[in-house]
DNA sequence: TTGGTTGCTGTTATATTATTACGTTTCAGA
DNA sequence: TCTGAAACGTAATAATATAACAGCAACCAA
């Protein structure tokens, strides 16, 4: 079954899984990637990334500030967390969900991938889905209208398997 | 040429056209639609819609407030304009562009249509494009993952024909 | 090591976008 | 004309994000 292995199935974020493993893996990947690029994953940035990965639902910047305050006993000001978010976005380690003003960990930060999000309006989980075909269709369409595309944002809201 | 008439071409918003006509037409359509539905397109709401249609680039809520102030010599507070926006959104007369926190007139408010936006990062123009096929592909994909989709948001940023 | 440069973080203030709460006015329908 | 619901006015505030500048730490070249 060479093709059927790529068939969609229930995303891991919606299953009862070992989530500590998700976090661990994401942090290791991030460290490797930053090392390779000569980018500095500082303690603060690593912390922000870890907190973002704490669950599969996007987190707002001010949520992150609160969580940092709880852990560190020291209040962090908005610019601090926004700068970390900017770094993580630049490195492709997280994505921003515009419709939620929130941030979520990226599942394949090493690829230069096109992706979109299935967001559950009930539990908040955001599942990242590869968007290669869709993305290409959009590109082609836009090209025919004389547009040159630089970035695409596709966000889909509905109900996840658990919340139905 | 029965099919080729549906082929994409340079969108009207990116051409040198009689824009007064765009505005006029949008307002007439809006009036007819609201009349048919028994919805009240009040002076304020009509005004907000007209200002949104003043060009083909999305406008922020506070831009609208400023424009209303200029015209009316009377300051309008945020809730006032946000309520009008909510009404216009509910009636499908405008769309919200999440990535810009801005609002733009809808080209086919009478249909229950799936649409997406090509946004020029240079001149700000936002072109509405029907997204039927793409939308269906996304639905099908999501279904296979156990998601039930309620709303989709696709926003594409790039350069329009004029700004290239 | 030293000194210079760059990048990261801290801090204060402020900008931008949006909502809550409550009182008043308007208006369609009885 | 009366009445209830919808629309609007107003003040306060919430939520999200950025600007501007100062201090510090890491890195590199001399
Ligand atoms: Zn997990
Ligand atoms: Zn859910
Ligand atoms: Zn026009
Ligand atoms: Zn343009």
CA A57 and chain centroid, separation: 9
Strand C closer than 7 Å to the CB of B37? no
Determine if strand C comes within 7 Å of the CB of B60: yes
A150 vs A119: CA distance, rounded Å: 23
Q: Do A142 and B118 touch (CB under 8 A)?
A: yes
Three-state secondary structure of B60-96: CHHHHHHHHHHHHCCCCCHHHHHHHHHHHHHCCCEEE
d(CA B47, CA B25) in angstroms, rounded, equals 14
Inter-chain contact A121–B153, Cβ cutoff 8 Å? Answer: no
CA–CA dist A34, A90 (Å, integer): 11
pTM over 0.85: yes
Task: Note the pLDDT of residue B73.
Answer: 65
- Residue that the structure tokens 């001010």 belong to: A62
pLDDT per position as a tens digit, B112-126: 889 999 999 999 999
Percent of chain B with pLDDT over 70: 95
Q: Which residues share a beta bridge with A152?
A: B156
Q: Scanning the structure block, which residue is given the tokens 């029907």? A: B130
Q: State the smallest CA–CA distance between residue A71 and chain B in angstroms.
A: 31
pLDDT at B4: 43
* Closest ligand to Cα B157: 4
CATH class, domain B16-158, is: mainly alpha
Domain ranges of chain B: 16-158
Does position B94 have pLDDT exceeding 80, yes or no? yes
Q: Is pLDDT at B2 greater than 80 in this prediction? A: no
Residues annotated within the binding site of B for Zn(2+) are 120, 123, 160, 163
pLDDT of residue A58: 98
Give tens-digit pLDDT for B27-52. Answer: 999 999 999 999 999 999 999 999 99
How remote is the CA of residue B23 from the centroid of ligand 1, in Å? 49
pLDDT in tens, chain A (164 residues): 444 444 678 999 999 999 999 999 999 999 999 999 999 999 999 999 999 999 999 999 999 999 999 987 678 999 999 999 999 999 999 999 999 999 999 999 988 889 999 999 999 999 999 999 999 999 999 999 999 999 999 999 999 999 98
pLDDT at residue B75, as a whole number:
82
Which residue's structure tokens are 């240079």?
B122
How confident is the model at residue B7, as a pLDDT?
63
Given this model, what pLDDT does residue B89 score? 97
């Amino acid at each position: 079954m060479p093709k059927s292995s790529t068939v969609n199935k229930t995303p891991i974020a919606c299953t009862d899984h070992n989530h500590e493993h998700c976090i661990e893996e994401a942090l290791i990947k991030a460290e490797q990637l930053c090392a390779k690029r000569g980018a500095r994953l500082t303690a603060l940035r690593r912390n922000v990334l870890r907190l973002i990965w704490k669950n599969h639902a996007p987190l707002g910047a001010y949520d992150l500030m609160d969580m940092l305050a709880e852990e560190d006993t020291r209040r962090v000001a908005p610019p601090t967390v926004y700068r970390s978010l900017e770094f993580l976005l630049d490195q492709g380690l997280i994505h921003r969900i515009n419709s939620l003003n929130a941030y979520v960990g990226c599942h394949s930060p090493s690829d230069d991938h096109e992706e979109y999000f299935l967001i559950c309006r009930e539990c908040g989980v955001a599942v990242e889905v590869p968007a290669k075909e869709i993305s290409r269709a959009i590109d082609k369409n836009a090209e025919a209208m004389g547009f040159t595309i630089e970035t695409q944002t596709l966000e889909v809201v509905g109900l996840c398997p658990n919340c139905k």
